[in-house]
Structure 1
Amino acid sequence: MAQTKRAWKLQEFVAHGGNVNCLAMGHKTGRVMVTGGEDRKVNLWTAGKPNCIMTEQPNPGDFESLLSLAGHTTAVDSVRFGHNEEMVVAGSVSGALKIWNLEEAKILRTLTGHKSSVRSLDFHPYGDYAASGSTDSTIKLWDIRRKGCIYTYKGHSNPVNTLRFSPDGKWIATGGEDSLIKIWDLTAGKLLTDMRLHTAGVNVIEFHPNEMLLASGSSDKTVKFWDLETFQLICSTDQDASPVRSICFDSEGACLYSGVRDYLKVYGWEPTHCFDSVPIAWGEVADMSIAKNQLIGASFSKTNVSTFVIDLSRIQPHGGVPHQEGGPPLSSSHGRRSFLTERPPTQSSRQASVPKEDETEPVSLSPDQEDRESVADIHNPDDFREIFQPKHRIDRSPTRTQEPFLPPQDDGVFPEPEPVRQPAQVTKPSTNASKPRVKRELPTTNRTSQPAQPPPAVRPVVPEPTPIVRAPDPPAPVEPSVKPTPPAQRQTSVPGVNPNDFLNADAHRVGDSQRQMTEEMFFDEGSKSHDVMSKVLSKRVKDLQTVRVMWTSGNIKTAIDSALSMNDKAVTVDVLNILNAKSGLWNLDISASLLPHLKDLVSNKYEEYVMIACESLKIVLRNFGPVIKANLTAPPGIGVDLSREDRYRKCNGCYKQLMEIRTVVDKKCALAGSVGETFRQLQILMGALD
Structure 2
Amino acid sequence: MATPVVTKTAWKLQEIVAHASNVSSLVLGKASGRLLATGGDDCRVNLWSINKPNCIMSLTGHTSPVESVRLNTPEELIVAGSQSGSIRVWDLEAAKILRTLMGHKANICSLDFHPYGEFVASGSQDTNIKLWDIRRKGCVFRYRGHSQAVRCLRFSPDGKWLASAADDHTVKLWDLTAGKMMSEFPGHTGPVNVVEFHPNEYLLASGSSDRTIRFWDLEKFQVVSCIEGEPGPVRSVLFNPDGCCLYSGCQDSLRVYGWEPERCFDVVLVNWGKVADLAICNDQLIGVAFSQSNVSSYVVDLTRVTRTGTVAQDPVQDSQPLAQLPPNPSAPLRRIYERPSTTCSKPQRVKRNSESERRSPSSEDDRDERESRAEIQNAEDYNEIFQPKNSISRTPPRISEPFPAPPEDDTATAKEAAKEAAKPGSAVDVQFPVPNLEVLARPPVVTSTPIPKAEPAIIPAARNEPIGLKASDFLPAVKIPQQAELVDEDAMSQIRKGHDTMCVVLTSRHKNLDTVRAVWTTGDIKTSVDSAVAINDLSVVVDLLNIVNQKASLWKLDLCTTVLPQIEKLLQSKYESYVQTGCTSLKLILQRFLPLITDIMAAPPSVGVDISREERLHKCRLCYKQLRSISGLVKSKSGLSGRHGSAFRELHLLMASLD
- Is the structural similarity TM-score above 0.5? yes
> Structure 2 residue aligned with 1:405, among 375, 397, 421?
397
Task: For 2:444 and 2:382, locate their aligned partners in 1 and report how far apart those are by CA, in whole Å.
Answer: 18
Q: Which region of structure 1 is more displaced relative to structure 2, 156-165 or 120-129? A: 120-129
Match of 2:176 in 1: 186
| One-letter amino acid of the structure 1 residue matched with residue 24 of structure 2 | N
Alignment of 1:246-645 (within 5 A): 246-317=236-307, 326-327=315-316, 331=329, 333-342=331-340, 349-350=344-345, 369=366, 372-373=369-370, 374-395=372-393, 404-406=396-398, 411-418=400-407, 461=441, 469=449
Task: Report Cα offsets for 1:360-392 as digits up to 9, x if no partner.
Answer: 9xxx99956575143311111111121122233
Task: Report Cα offsets for 1:216-274 as digits up to 9, x if no partner.
Answer: 11111111111111111111112212011101111111111011111100011210111
CA gap of 1:323–1:306, structure 2 versus 1, over 3 A, is farther
> Structure 2 residue aligned with 1:45, among 42, 48, 71?
48
Match of 2:581 in 1: none
| One-letter amino acid of the structure 2 residue matched with residue 183 of structure 1 | L
The 3-state SS of whatever aligns with 1:161 is strand
| One-letter amino acid of the structure 1 residue matched with residue 53 of structure 2 | P
> Is 1:273–1:328's contact at 8 Å kept on the other side of the alignment?
no
Task: For 1:152 and 1:365, locate their aligned partners in 2 and report how far apart those are by CA, in whole Å.
Answer: 26
Task: For 1:140 and 1:387, locate their aligned partners in 2 and report how far apart those are by CA, in whole Å.
Answer: 31
Match of 1:60 in 2: none
> Is 2:94–2:451's contact at 8 Å kept on the other side of the alignment?
no
Match of 1:488 in 2: none
| One-letter amino acid of the structure 1 residue matched with residue 389 of structure 2 | K
Task: For 2:131 and 2:102, locate their aligned partners in 1 and report how far apart those are by CA, in whole Å.
Answer: 12
> Is 1:266–1:316's contact at 8 Å kept on the other side of the alignment?
no
> Structure 1 residue aligned with 2:9, among 6, 17, 32?
6
The 3-state SS of whatever aligns with 2:380 is helix
Match of 2:190 in 1: 200
Task: For 1:260 and 1:338, locate their aligned partners in 2 and report how far apart those are by CA, in whole Å.
Answer: 29
Task: For 2:166 and 2:208, locate their aligned partners in 1 and report how far apart those are by CA, in whole Å.
Answer: 10
- In the alignment of these two chains, the number of paired residues is 411
Match of 2:90 in 1: 100
1:326 offset after TM fit, Å? 2.6
User: What percent of counterpart residues are identical?
Assistant: 49
| One-letter amino acid of the structure 1 residue matched with residue 277 of structure 2 | D
1:183 offset after TM fit, Å? 0.4
- List runs of 5+ in structure 1 lacking aligned partners: 58-70, 396-401, 422-454, 474-628, 636-690
Match of 1:131 in 2: 121
Match of 2:33 in 1: 30
> Is 2:77–2:91's contact at 8 Å kept on the other side of the alignment?
yes
The 3-state SS of whatever aligns with 1:387 is helix
Task: For 2:104 and 2:266, locate their aligned partners in 1 and report how far apart those are by CA, in whole Å.
Answer: 41
| One-letter amino acid of the structure 2 residue matched with residue 266 of structure 1 | V
> Structure 1 residue aligned with 2:206, among 212, 216, 220?
216
Match of 1:656 in 2: none
CA gap of 1:302–1:327, structure 2 versus 1, over 3 A, is same
Task: Report Cα offsets for 1:579-618 as digits up to 9, x if no partner.
Answer: xxxxxxxxxxxxxxxxxxxxxxxxxxxxxxxxxxxxxxxx
Task: Report Cα offsets for 1:44-69 as digits up to 9, x if no partner.
Answer: 11111121111124xxxxxxxxxxxx
1:127 offset after TM fit, Å? 4.6
Task: For 2:73 and 2:299, locate their aligned partners in 1 and report how far apart those are by CA, in whole Å.
Answer: 22
CA gap of 1:109–1:2, structure 2 versus 1, over 3 A, is farther
Task: For 1:470 and 1:116, locate their aligned partners in 2 and report how far apart those are by CA, in whole Å.
Answer: 31
Match of 2:160 in 1: 170
Task: For 1:472 and 1:196, locate their aligned partners in 2 and report how far apart those are by CA, in whole Å.
Answer: 49
CA-atom RMSD in angstroms: 3.5
> Is 1:235–1:272's contact at 8 Å kept on the other side of the alignment?
yes
CA gap of 1:472–1:28, structure 2 versus 1, over 3 A, is closer
Matched, 1:16 2:25: no
> Is 1:102–1:389's contact at 8 Å kept on the other side of the alignment?
no
| One-letter amino acid of the structure 1 residue matched with residue 8 of structure 2 | K
TM-score of the aligned structures, taking structure 1 as reference length: 0.55
| One-letter amino acid of the structure 2 residue matched with residue 170 of structure 1 | K
Greater relative contact order (Cα 8 A, min sep 6): structure 1 or 2? 2
Task: For 2:211 and 2:254, locate their aligned partners in 1 and report how far apart those are by CA, in whole Å.
Answer: 13
1:335 offset after TM fit, Å? 2.4
| One-letter amino acid of the structure 1 residue matched with residue 315 of structure 2 | G
| One-letter amino acid of the structure 2 residue matched with residue 388 of structure 1 | F
Task: For 1:236 and 1:634, locate their aligned partners in 2 and report how far apart those are by CA, in whole Å.
Answer: 50
> Is 1:103–1:388's contact at 8 Å kept on the other side of the alignment?
yes
1:73 offset after TM fit, Å? 0.2
> Structure 1 residue aligned with 2:216, among 220, 223, 226?
226
TM-score of the aligned structures, taking structure 2 as reference length: 0.57
> Structure 2 residue aligned with 1:79, among 62, 65, 69?
69
Task: For 1:201 and 1:333, locate their aligned partners in 2 and report how far apart those are by CA, in whole Å.
Answer: 34
Task: For 2:214 and 2:13, locate their aligned partners in 1 and report how far apart those are by CA, in whole Å.
Answer: 30
Task: Report Cα offsets for 1:142-194 as digits up to 9, x if no partner.
Answer: 00001510001000000000010011111100000011010001101011010
Task: For 1:10 and 1:207, locate their aligned partners in 2 and report how far apart those are by CA, in whole Å.
Answer: 28
Task: For 1:25 and 1:276, locate their aligned partners in 2 and report how far apart those are by CA, in whole Å.
Answer: 24
| One-letter amino acid of the structure 2 residue matched with residue 372 of structure 1 | E
Task: For 2:83 and 2:351, locate their aligned partners in 1 and report how far apart those are by CA, in whole Å.
Answer: 36
CA gap of 1:339–1:289, structure 2 versus 1, over 3 A, is same
Task: For 1:467 and 1:292, locate their aligned partners in 2 and report how far apart those are by CA, in whole Å.
Answer: 31
> Is 2:121–2:129's contact at 8 Å kept on the other side of the alignment?
yes
CA gap of 1:466–1:30, structure 2 versus 1, over 3 A, is closer
Task: For 2:71 and 2:249, locate their aligned partners in 1 and report how far apart those are by CA, in whole Å.
Answer: 20
Task: For 2:57 and 2:373, locate their aligned partners in 1 and report how far apart those are by CA, in whole Å.
Answer: 10
Match of 1:54 in 2: 57
Task: For 2:111 and 2:257, locate their aligned partners in 1 and report how far apart those are by CA, in whole Å.
Answer: 26
> Is 1:29–1:405's contact at 8 Å kept on the other side of the alignment?
no
> Is 1:43–1:56's contact at 8 Å kept on the other side of the alignment?
yes
Q: Which region of structure 1 is more displaced relative to structure 2, 168-177 or 1-10? A: 1-10
> Is 2:30–2:279's contact at 8 Å kept on the other side of the alignment?
yes
CA gap of 1:404–1:316, structure 2 versus 1, over 3 A, is farther
CA gap of 1:376–1:341, structure 2 versus 1, over 3 A, is same
> Is 2:157–2:337's contact at 8 Å kept on the other side of the alignment?
yes
> Is 1:254–1:332's contact at 8 Å kept on the other side of the alignment?
no
> Is 2:27–2:71's contact at 8 Å kept on the other side of the alignment?
yes
> Is 1:17–1:39's contact at 8 Å kept on the other side of the alignment?
yes
CA gap of 1:366–1:86, structure 2 versus 1, over 3 A, is farther
Task: Report Cα offsets for 1:423-456 as digits up to 9, x if no partner.
Answer: xxxxxxxxxxxxxxxxxxxxxxxxxxxxxxxx9x
1:207 offset after TM fit, Å? 0.6
- List runs of 5+ in structure 2 lacking aligned partners: 319-324, 411-437, 454-546, 554-659
Task: For 1:383 and 1:365, locate their aligned partners in 2 and report how far apart those are by CA, in whole Å.
Answer: 37
Match of 1:116 in 2: 106
